[in-house]
Chain A
Amino acid sequence: MTTLTKPARRRRSLNWGRISAWAALTVAIIITIGPFLWMLRTALSNNHALASQSSNLLPADFTWGAFARVFGLQSQAQAQAEGGSGASINFWQYLGNSLIVSTMITFSQVFFSAMAAYAFARLQWPGRDKVFAMFLGTLLVPGIFTALPNFLLVKNLGLLNTYLGIALPSMLMTPFAVFFLRQFFLGMSREVEEAAMLDGARHSRIFFQIALPNASAPIATLCLLTFIAAWNDYFWPLLVGNSPAVRVLTVGLGVFKSQSPQGAPDWSGLMAATLVSALPILLLFIAFGKKIVNSIGFSGIK
C-alpha cells in the first residue's frame, strides 16, 4: 500500500522486508496448524505403534480404533490390544451433556442479557447508569472468587451434579453479554422506535418486533461466542458436575487422561477424544469463522 509512492531503491529494500514478513507469517501459521494435524495423526494411529514409530509423520499403523474406543464401540479385549486402558468411557454421554449445558446457557443468557441491554440502552429510568456501572464492575471480579460461594449456593439449592447447577450461574446474565448488546441497541435509530410509539406499540412489542430483529447479527455473534465459552469451560463444571451422568466433555477429558496408566498412556484414544471434543467448535468455525474473527475488537474484550 505504502510502497506505491516510494522510489525504486526503497521499494527493493521493502520487498526484502516483505519477504521476511511473509516468512514470519508462514512460520506462525505452521506453528498454529501443525499441532492440530498431529492431533489427527495420533488419533488415527494404533497406540501400540506410536512408541516404535515416533518419528513417522503419518499415522502409525492406521486404524479407526481410537475413535471406536472413545465412543465405547470397542470390546475391552480389542481396546487393550490397541493400547487402550480398557476402562469404559462413553463420550456420547459427555457430548450430549456438553450440548445440553452449552445450549441452555447460550439461549437463556443471550435472551436475558438482551432484555437487560435494551433497558440500559433504550429506556429512561432512575439509577440506570449506576446499575449498569455495577454490572460492568463485576468484570473485575476473578472467577475463582465467586466460584467458592457459588458452589455452596448450588449445593444448598440441591443442584450439585445437575444440568441446571452447571448452567445456572451463566444463564441469567454475564456483564460482557449485556455490555456487548447494549452497544448495538444504543446505535439503533430512534425514529423507528418513536414511530412505533406513536402507533401505540408498547416497549415489549418494540423489543420483540424491532430491537431484536434489528440486532440479529450481533445477537448471532454473541450466541456463537457464548456457546464456545460454555463449551470450553472447565473449572466450574469440574466443581459442580463431576458425576458421570452430567459430566461435560472438558471434565470427561480430564478423567480420561487420569485413567491412563502412567507407563503407557492411551495417546491415540486421548487425541481422538480431544478431536471429538473440539469438532463442534471447528465446525462452527468453518461455518461462521468470519463472523467470529470480525467480532473480536474493542467490544470483544472480555
Chain B
Amino acid sequence: MATTSLGTRKPSRREADSGGPKRVSRRRNIGDLRVALFFVAPAVLGFVLFYLLPTIRGIYLSFTDYSILGNPVWVGLKNYLKIFQDKLFWNAMGVTLEYVLLNIGFQTVIALGLALLMYHVAKSTLIRGILLLPYLVANVIVALLWFWMLDYQIGIFNQMLQWLGIPRVAFFGNEFWSIPTIAFVNIWRHMGYTALLIFAGLQTIPKQLYEVANLDGASPWQTFWKITMPLLRPVLLLVMVVTITGSFQIFDTVAVTTQGGPVNASRVIQYYIYQRAFSEQDFGYGSALSVILFIILAVVAFLQMKFLRGNENDLD
C-alpha cells in the first residue's frame, strides 16, 4: 500500500522536472549530486558497514570453520551438509514452525476481531492506546511478567485454574505446553499492534460501499465476507508478511524463560543459532544456520508477496 503511493508519486515529480528545458534539468542533476552525496553519506556508510558488508561476510563465514580465535578456514559446503543431518536443527525448525503457526494463526484472527471492534464499535483513541500498550513494553519484561503469572506453584493463573477446578499446568516447564505458552505470551503482546495495522486498512475501505450494502439489505455477516474481507485482503497479507517474518525470529521470550527447554521442546531456530555461535563459539556453523533462516524468510515473503500482488490486481 505504502509502496504503491511511492510509485505514483515518483513519475509525476520526474515529469515536472523534465518539463523544463533539457539543458537546465541536466545541469540540475549534476548540481544536486554533490549536495546529495553529502546528505546521504552517513546513511550510506551505515548501510554499507552494518547491512551490506555483514550480509556478504555472513555468507562467506557460512562456508568456513571459525571460532572467533584465529582465522576462518574455508570448508566449502561442510557446514550445510552437517546441518542437514543435524537432529537439533530439524527439531529447531519443527519447534519454530509450530510456534509460527500458533502465533500467527491465533494472533491474526484475534487482531482482525479487535480491528473490527475498533472500527465499528469503539472509536476512541484511548481504547486503541490501551490495547497497544503491551507492544510498547519490552519482550523481556512481557516474558518475565507472564513467567511469574504462569508459575506452577504460586502463579495467579494456576490459582485461577484451581478455582475453576482445573488441574494446574506447568506452562513453561512442560514439553507439550512450552511452545503454545510462548506463542500465547507473544500474541498478548502483539494483538493490539496488529489490530491497529488492520484497523488502518479498514479505514481505507470507502464508506459508500457499506452504505450501498446496507441499502441492499445485506446482513453484517454478508457485508463482512463480501465487502470487508475482499477489500482488506491486500492489507491483511501485508500485515502477515511482516508478522510472520518477525515470528520466525522469536528469541527474547525463549532466552529469558525456558532457554530452549524442557529438553529441546522450545529451542527455536534463532536461539539455536545463538547457542551455536556464542555459547559454542562455532561461528561458521551459526552463520550457515542463519543463511538458511534468511532463505526461508525470503521464500516465505516472496510467496506471500506474489499472492498479495495477484489479489491487488483482482480488486483494481
Chain A residues packing against B (C-beta within 8 Å): 1-2, 5-6, 14, 17-18, 21-22, 24-25, 28-29, 31-33, 35-36, 38-39, 42, 50-51, 54-55, 112-113, 115-116, 118-120, 123-126, 128-129, 131, 134-135, 138, 140-146, 148-150, 152-153, 155, 168-169, 171-173, 178-179, 183, 186, 190, 202-204, 207, 228, 231-235, 238-239, 249-250, 253-254, 257, 267, 270-271, 274, 277-278, 281-282, 285, 289-290, 292-294, 296-302
Contacts and interface: CB of A to CB of B under 8 A. Distances in A.
B133 A32 contact: yes
Given A113-B43, A125-B32, A290-B125, A148 B139 contact: no
A39 B2 CA distance: 38
Given A173-B46, A228-B136, A277-B138, A297 B200 contact: yes
Interface stretch (B85-93, B97-105, B225-233, B284-292): B284-292
Given A267-B151, A296-B196, 7 more contacts: A28-B191, A128-B36, A138-B47, A149-B57, A232-B138, A254-B140, A281-B137
Contact of B239 (A153, A155, A301): A301
B210 A145 contact: no
A148 B277 contact: yes
Nearest to A281: B136
A24 B112 CA distance: 13
Interface of B: 1-2, 6, 9-10, 13, 16-17, 25, 28-29, 32-33, 35-40, 42-47, 49-55, 57-58, 61, 68, 113-114, 117, 120-122, 125-134, 136-141, 144-149, 151, 153-156, 159, 163, 188, 191-193, 196-197, 200-201, 210-211, 214-215, 220, 235, 238-239, 242, 245, 248-249, 251-252, 255-256, 270, 273-274, 277-278, 283, 286-287, 290-291, 293-294, 297-298, 301
B141 A278 contact: yes
A123 B35 contact: yes
B45 A172 contact: yes
A290 B126 CA distance: 8
Contact of A17 (B32, B45, B196, B220): B220
A124 B50 contact: no
A50 B2 CA distance: 50
A202 B31 CA distance: 11
A30 to B, nearest CB: 10
A144 B39 contact: no
Given A55-B159, A126-B33, A150 B54 contact: yes
Contacts of B32: 123-125, 203
B282 to A, nearest CB: 11
B97 to A, nearest CB: 16
A257 B9 CA distance: 51
Contact of B129 (A129, A150, A290): A290
Contact of A234 (B117, B127, B255, B293): B255
A33 B36 CA distance: 48
Nearest to A297: B200
Contact of B39 (A115, A290, A293): A115
